[in-house]
């Protein structure tokens, strides 16, 4: 199978021979990571719902042209847009969440600071951001997704509430919630977007629960099992994105 590369829609060029011009991160991935050469076949996804089978025709020091040979429709993205907000975890666990959340169909991913996090605030890092984006792209390619999830990075608790509040419903997943099951938190069928907020292993503080309530978040659980934070994040994302509630 030809390697899959995700590009922006703006890289598409109409004409007698439709093509994509790969620049920036997409060019780096194709030329430096995949070592694409003249005549190689590439699968390109631009978020339009299709994948394009292309042949590499020419390259310059900082760009590559891929001529379209064939266009095929990809399986549609989930009907419900899922924003997954997960409290800070140890490094390898966060990367695992990024990978698996992408595979199950989550649309937006962010980590946030919480009072009971074992990991303290993480300083901004372009290197880390690039690594996380590569993990997402590789997981999306493996899963055959038509679009990449949007990576929001690391947020403060307040910024997380602001971002979660932009969804049709925002659900705080915790023990002792008013809804014993995620499916009872709302009629998900009528909602276009759902924010799922998963706390650290130590749970949310009482102040955080109160603040979330004042911002309109509802609380729910995933049942009686005691789950690790990263497990809860993926199960919740899968249940909503894959419409299995």
Which segments of the chain does DSSP mark as H helices, in order? Answer: 24-27, 91-104, 126-143, 157-164, 206-214, 229-241
Same domain, residue pair 59 and 122: no
pLDDT in tens, 25-53: 888 888 888 889 899 999 999 888 889 99
Same domain, residue pair 32 and 100: no
pLDDT at 204 over 90: yes
Task: Tell me what pLDDT residue 183 has.
Answer: 59
pLDDT in tens, 86-125: 999 987 999 999 999 999 999 999 999 999 887 766 766 7
Residues 217-229, mean pLDDT to the nearest whole number:
86
Number of domains within the chain: 2
Which CATH number is 147's domain given?
3.40.1280.10
Task: Tell me what pLDDT residue 234 has.
Answer: 96
Which CATH number is 25's domain given?
2.40.240.20
- Asked if 84 and 62 touch (Cβ cutoff 8 Å), the reply is no
Q: Which residue has the tokens 């989550």?
A: 106
Higher pLDDT: 125 or 23? It is: 23
Question: What confidence tier does 142 reach under pLDDT thresholds 50, 70, 90?
Answer: confident
Same domain, residue pair 86 and 63: no
Same domain, residue pair 108 and 63: no
Phi, then psi, of 64 in degrees rounded to 5: -145, 140
pLDDT at 217 over 60: yes
Task: Tell me what pLDDT residue 106 has.
Answer: 97
Task: Tell me what pLDDT residue 132 has.
Answer: 92
Q: Could you give the percent of the chain with pLDDT greater than 70?
A: 91
Same domain, residue pair 144 and 123: yes
Q: Which domain holds residue 169?
A: 81-241
Residues 222-241, mean pLDDT to the nearest whole number:
89
pLDDT in tens, 157-170: 999 999 999 999 99
**Biggest alpha carbon distance in the chain?**
62
Task: Tell me what pLDDT residue 224 has.
Answer: 79
Same domain, residue pair 95 and 37: no
Same domain, residue pair 215 and 137: yes
Same domain, residue pair 40 and 14: yes
pLDDT in tens, 182-198: 655 555 556 889 999 99
| End residue of a domain, out of 73, 93, 110 | 73
| End residue of a domain, out of 73, 98, 115 | 73
Same domain, residue pair 99 and 125: yes
Q: How would you class 87 by CB atoms within 10 Å of its CB: exposed for 0-12, middle for 13-18, buried for 19 or more?
A: buried
- Provide the token pair at 11: 């890289």
**Span of 45-59, 144-158, 167-181, 198-212 with lowest mean pLDDT:** 167-181
Task: Tell me what pLDDT residue 124 has.
Answer: 67
| End residue of a domain, out of 14, 40, 73 | 73
Same domain, residue pair 196 and 137: yes
Phi-psi region of 16 (alpha: psi -120 to 50; beta: other; left: phi over 0): alpha
Same domain, residue pair 223 and 105: yes
Same domain, residue pair 169 and 196: yes
């Amino acid at each position: 199978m030809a390697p899959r590369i995700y590009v922006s829609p703006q890289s598409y060029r109409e004409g007698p021979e439709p093509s994509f011009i790969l620049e920036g991160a997409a060019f780096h991935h194709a030329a430096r990571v995949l070592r694409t050469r003249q005549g190689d076949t590439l699968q390109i996804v631009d978020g339009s719902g299709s994948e394009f089978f292309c042949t590499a025709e020419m390259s310059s020091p900082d760009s590559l042209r891929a001529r379209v040979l064939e266009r095929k429709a990809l399986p549609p993205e989930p009907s419900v847009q899922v924003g997954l907000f997960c409290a800070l975890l140890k490094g390898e666990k966060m990367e695992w969440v990024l990978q698996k959340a992408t595979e199950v169909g989550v649309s937006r991913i962010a980590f946030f600071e919480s009072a009971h996090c074992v990991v303290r605030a993480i300083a901004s890092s372009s290197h880390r951001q690039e690594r996380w984006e590569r993990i997402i792209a590789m997981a999306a390619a493996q899963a055959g997704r038509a679009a990449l999830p949007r990576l929001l990075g690391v947020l403060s608790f307040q910024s997380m509430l602001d971002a979660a509040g932009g969804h049709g419903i925002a659900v705080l997943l915790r023990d002792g919630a008013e809804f014993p099951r995620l499916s009872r938190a709302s009629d998900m069928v009528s909602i276009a977007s759902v924010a799922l907020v998963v706390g650290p292993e130590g749970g949310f503080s009482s102040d955080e629960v109160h603040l979330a309530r004042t911002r309109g978040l509802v609380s729910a659980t995933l049942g009686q099992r005691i789950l690790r934070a990263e497990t809860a994040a993926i199960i919740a994302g899968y249940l909503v994105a894959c419409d299995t509630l």
